[in-house]
Amino acid sequence: MKPLKDRRLRPDAEAQGHEGHKGDEGNAPLLAVRDLAVDFATDRGRVAAVRGVSFTLKAGQSLAILGESGSGKSVTGRALLGLIDPPGRVRGTIEFEGNDLVGWDENRLNTVRGPGISMVFQDSLDSLNPVFSIGSQLTELLRVRQGMDRRAARERAVSLLRQVGIPAAGERLGDYPHQFSGGMRQRVCIALAIALRPRLLIADEPTTALDVTVQAEILRLIRNLRQETGMALVFVTHDLAVARLVATDVAVMYAGKIVERGAIDAIYRRPAHPYTRALLASQPESARTWSDLRPIPGSPPDKAHAVPGCAFHPRCPLATARCTTEAPELLPLAEADRSSRCHHTEEALHAAH
């Protein structure tokens, strides 16, 4: 298999048609997030991690949430599954299949977790119990949640491991997490996540600690599983080149807000926000030589101290006096299904042309 950097111009073929927008007009979204806000109590007061995020996702659609560390993307993903514990506080609406999940207690949320929404986390070692075999963890889930007997649960566990590409699946049921490589552990985590056939899968940077070849294999697995099962996907990442391999749409986040949204191929070719353009320019896939790499100057803002105006203005090459005092709104562009939160969107589009 070729390294991931050699595949950056080979995104999911379905993305060319902007999957998820064909023939489904008028259908209610699977997921509708409106004005989502998440903050945490700290010794410096309440700190806002997510500030007014809104988006919708239809059945079968794939959305990448993109941004630097601290942008709020992982907190958004965890909020969707009700995994924000005190001192965290969630406000707004997270409507899944017509039900607003905000404010639900653990018992009600557990009716949705698994068969409705499931999640793959960054660190497979933290996600798996080190004192139980892989087989026991899979079969317990199937027996408790689906009422299977031991034999049926074991057969289903073997089938799941085969589905995610574990060699000699039946023989490996008795192995423990430490006996698997990082890539194989992540495959086991994916098997656990899809065991109850979820309608929505959230993947929170599932390839961060893997080398590029294994990373490409995991991304291809997630993409293929989505296509085979028809589940929707929210993929959290900091890398737009990675996102292109699994998602058709992208929401770019900065300082807790979505700053650009649209079809991933269109944004990759012609970003409408200076932050998106800077992210692209800072990645090795966009540079011909190491000297071409352009890191984003400065650092993300301190969440405890809100930046007046546009949060990106201290790092933005297009910033003007207006940007320092007036916060821009997320406004639609002339292109279908695209929006940008910038006072200088036209200049950004022209610079990217």
What pLDDT score was predicted for residue 296?
A: 87
Please compute the mean of the pLDDT values over residues 239-255 and round it to a whole number: 93
What pLDDT score was predicted for residue 99?
A: 97
pLDDT digits 0-9 by tens, 317-348: 999 999 999 999 999 998 878 999 999 999 99
Domain ranges of the chain: 1-116+205-353, 117-195
What are residue 251's DSSP bridge partners? Answer: 65, 261
What pLDDT score was predicted for residue 285?
A: 61
Confidence band (pLDDT; 50, 70, 90) for 178?
very high
What pLDDT score was predicted for residue 8?
A: 33
pLDDT exceeds cutoff 90 at 5: no
pLDDT exceeds cutoff 70 at 203: yes
Mean pLDDT of the chain: 89
Chain centre distance of CA 48: 19
Distance between CA atoms of 176 and 133, rounded to whole angstroms? 4
Distance between CA atoms of 320 and 125, rounded to whole angstroms? 46
Distance between CA atoms of 136 and 84, rounded to whole angstroms? 28
What pLDDT score was predicted for residue 133?
A: 97
Minimum mean pLDDT among 162-166, 258-262, 288-292: which range? 288-292
What pLDDT score was predicted for residue 286?
A: 55
Minimum mean pLDDT among 69-78, 142-151, 211-220: which range? 211-220
Q: Token digits for 108?
A: 């009600």
List Cα–Cα distances, 333 to 104, 173, 235, 338, in angstroms: 36, 51, 24, 6
Chain centre distance of CA 294: 25
Q: Give percent of the chain above pLDDT 90.
A: 74
pLDDT exceeds cutoff 70 at 197: yes
Question: pTM score > 0.75 for this model?
Answer: yes
pLDDT digits 0-9 by tens, 18-71: 333 334 445 789 999 999 999 999 998 899 999 999 999 999 999 999 999 999
Task: Provide the CATH topology of domain 1-116+205-353.
Answer: Rossmann fold (3.40.50)
Please compute the mean of the pLDDT values over residues 148-153 and round it to a whole number: 97
pLDDT digits 0-9 by tens, 161-174: 999 999 999 999 99
What pLDDT score was predicted for residue 305?
A: 83
Q: What length is written for the chain?
A: 353
What pLDDT score was predicted for residue 294?
A: 75
Biggest CA-to-CA distance, the chain: 68
Nearest 5°: CA angle at 117, between 114 and 122? 90
List Cα–Cα distances, 320 to 153, 163, 232, 328, in angstroms: 62, 53, 40, 12
In 10 A of CB 103, how many CB atoms?
10
Minimum mean pLDDT among 15-29, 190-204, 240-254, 276-290: which range? 15-29
List Cα–Cα distances, 144 to 113, 116, 120, 157, 182, in angstroms: 13, 16, 20, 13, 27
pLDDT exceeds cutoff 50 at 196: yes
Considering only residues 4 and 201, tell me which one the structure prediction assigns the higher pLDDT: 201
Q: Token digits for 136?
A: 């026991």
Distance between CA atoms of 321 and 331, rounded to whole angstroms? 20
What pLDDT score was predicted for residue 353?
A: 54
Confidence band (pLDDT; 50, 70, 90) for 292?
low
Residue (of 201, 311, 293, 295) closest to 256 by Cα position: 311
| Order of strands, sheet of 99-100, starting from the edge strand that comes earlier in the sequence | 45-57, 31-42, 88-96, 99-100
What pLDDT score was predicted for residue 126?
A: 87
What pLDDT score was predicted for residue 118?
A: 97
Distance between CA atoms of 141 and 336, rounded to whole angstroms? 43
Considering only residues 19 and 186, tell me which one the structure prediction assigns the higher pLDDT: 186
Q: Token digits for 267?
A: 């944004």
What pLDDT score was predicted for residue 204?
A: 95
Distance between CA atoms of 344 and 321, rounded to whole angstroms? 12
